[in-house]
Amino acid sequence: MFSEFYQAQVLNIQRASIRGLKTMLSVTHAPDWARPENVRGVEDGPSENTADWAAFVGRLVRDVKPEFIDAIELWNEPNLIREWRGKPISGSEYFKYFRAAYEIIQQEQMSGRSVLKPDHRIMVITAGPAPTVTFTGSTIGDREFIQQLYDAGLANLGSDVVLGVHPYGWGNPPEARCCQAAPGVTGWFEHPSFYFLETLENYREIMRRNNHAQGKMWITEFGWATYDGLIRSDGSPAEADAGVGWQNLIDADQQAKYIVRAFRLAQQPPYYDYLGPMILWNLNYSMIPGILDKGGEQAGFSILAGDGSARPAFEALREALH
């Protein structure tokens, strides 16, 4: 029996769709009871078997009803051990879970086809990998991970499958390519994974090499982070945790400019030919109680301040719409 919270969210998704909003679901965790016993309670990771995972995804689609779902992203950054604890960390291992969920989504669409929307299809998105390099046992480089997806058969699936990507830029401008530091950038510029545009272009080349040039990428996370202008609960200036020093490389005005320029860049050729929706991360993590006092990494990406007021990035996006 699903909880009242679950049932309420099902209704919220349906209502959003009825009102004309596009809906994208993201399934990113497995409950402890479904995970391998030796990692229960440790970070995040997939279920012990693909059957439990696929059964949940299928039940979710059935409960919401396919016509109310425009897209589903399956997991988040599984090239990081903290997101994939308990199973071998590889694109081929993740693809077992992706394929199992994809197939059951297809089944649910066929059996639950709407008379009013007979041609409706759910777009199924691979989990966006974190831009990184390979550290044995803890990460797999994003480029390597995507190649492993293709080695496992990604290009053989339908046109309703898209590649989820997370092209973060750290302190580097959206148009920059590796590896020349911009003014004021003193680190996090020495590798292609630190660059928004170069990451997209590298992924596109992998797609071409694997006979998937007709495929699309959806940017399900991107953004630039800075603690500039954020305030602790005692009224003093907030500071990012020492482990995320790249959040000190740009100020709030640069954050705003980079975000808007990234959106505009993606709307120009050749990028608009293969890029789908772009989802900025994030709106308001800075409002989580205590996060600014702790210097939490997520808060620097927020476009709202801790008190809910607009940061320059929020204002710049609002202006860009007019």
Q: How far is CA 306 from CA 230, 286, 301, in A?
A: 7, 5, 12
What pLDDT does residue 33 have?
93
Q: Residue 161 pairs with which residues in a beta bridge?
A: 124
- DSSP string for residues in 65-115: -GGG-SEEEE-S-TTBGGGSTTS--SHHHHHHHHHHHHHHHHHHHHHT--S
Phi, psi of 162 (to 5 degrees): -125, 155
Decide if 166 contacts 222 (C-beta within 8 A).
yes
Whole domain around residue 16: which residue ranges? 4-320
Per-residue tens of pLDDT for the chain, all 322 residues = 578 999 999 999 999 999 999 999 999 999 999 999 999 998 999 999 999 999 999 999 999 999 999 999 999 999 999 999 999 999 999 999 999 999 999 999 998 888 878 889 999 999 999 999 999 989 999 999 999 999 999 999 999 999 999 999 999 999 999 999 999 999 999 999 999 999 999 999 999 999 999 999 999 999 999 999 999 999 999 999 989 999 999 999 999 999 999 999 999 999 999 999 999 999 999 999 999 999 999 999 999 999 999 999 999 999 998 7
Q: What is the rounded distance in angstroms from the CA atom of residue 28 to the CA atom of residue 125? A: 12
Strands 275-280 and 123-126, bridge-based pairing: unpaired
Where are the strands (E) in the chain, listed by range? Answer: 24-27, 71-74, 123-126, 161-165, 217-222, 275-280
What pLDDT does residue 19 have?
96
Q: Which amino acid is at 182?
A: A
- For the chain, the domain total comes to 1
pLDDT tens per residue across span 162-212: 999 999 999 999 999 999 999 999 999 999 999 999 999 999 999 999 999
Dihedral (CA of 84, 68, 51, 107) sign:
negative
Dihedral (CA of 38, 41, 46, 47) sign:
positive
Decide if 223 contacts 291 (C-beta within 8 A).
no
SS3 30: coil
* CATH assignment of the domain containing 15: 3.20.20.80
What pLDDT does residue 1 have?
58
Q: What is the rounded distance in angstroms from the CA atom of residue 221 to the CA atom of residue 128? A: 8
